[in-house]
Amino acid sequence: MSRKRRIPTARRGFSLLELMVALAISALLLTAALVALDASFRAYRRTTEEAATHTTARIAMHRLLALVRTGSDFGPLPTNPLDEELESEYLEVRTPDGRWVVIRWDGEGERLLIAVDSSDGDPGTPHVLLGGVEPQFHADGSPILPFRIAYQDGWRVRRVTVDLSIQPDDDISTSIAHEPPPPIRLVGSASPRSIAP
pLDDT tens digit sequence for 82-115: 888 999 999 999 998 888 999 999 988 788 888 8
Q: pLDDT tens, 178-190?
A: 566 778 888 999 9
**Any domain includes 15:** no
**Any domain includes 174:** yes
**Any domain includes 182:** yes
pLDDT confidence of residue 172 = 44
Chain-centre distance of CA 99, in angstroms? 29
pLDDT confidence of residue 196 = 47
Radius of gyration from C-alpha coordinates of the chain? 32
Whether the bond between 76 and the residue before it is cis, its omega within 30 degrees of 0, is yes
**Any domain includes 2:** no
Kindly tell me if the per-residue pLDDT of 173 is higher than 60: no
**Any domain includes 19:** no
Q: Report the C-alpha gap between 33 and 43 in whole angstroms.
A: 15
**Any domain includes 68:** yes
**Any domain includes 86:** yes
Over range 161-186, report the average pLDDT: 71
pLDDT confidence of residue 175 = 44
Kindly tell me if the per-residue pLDDT of 50 is higher than 90: no
Q: Report the C-alpha gap between 185 and 187 in whole angstroms.
A: 7
Cβ within 8 Å of residue 128, ≥6 positions away? 111, 112, 113
- Owning domain of residue 109: 50-190
Kindly tell me if the per-residue pLDDT of 195 is higher than 80: no
**Any domain includes 89:** yes
Number of domains observed in the structure of the chain:
1
Kindly tell me if the per-residue pLDDT of 177 is higher than 60: no
Cβ within 8 Å of residue 16, ≥6 positions away? none
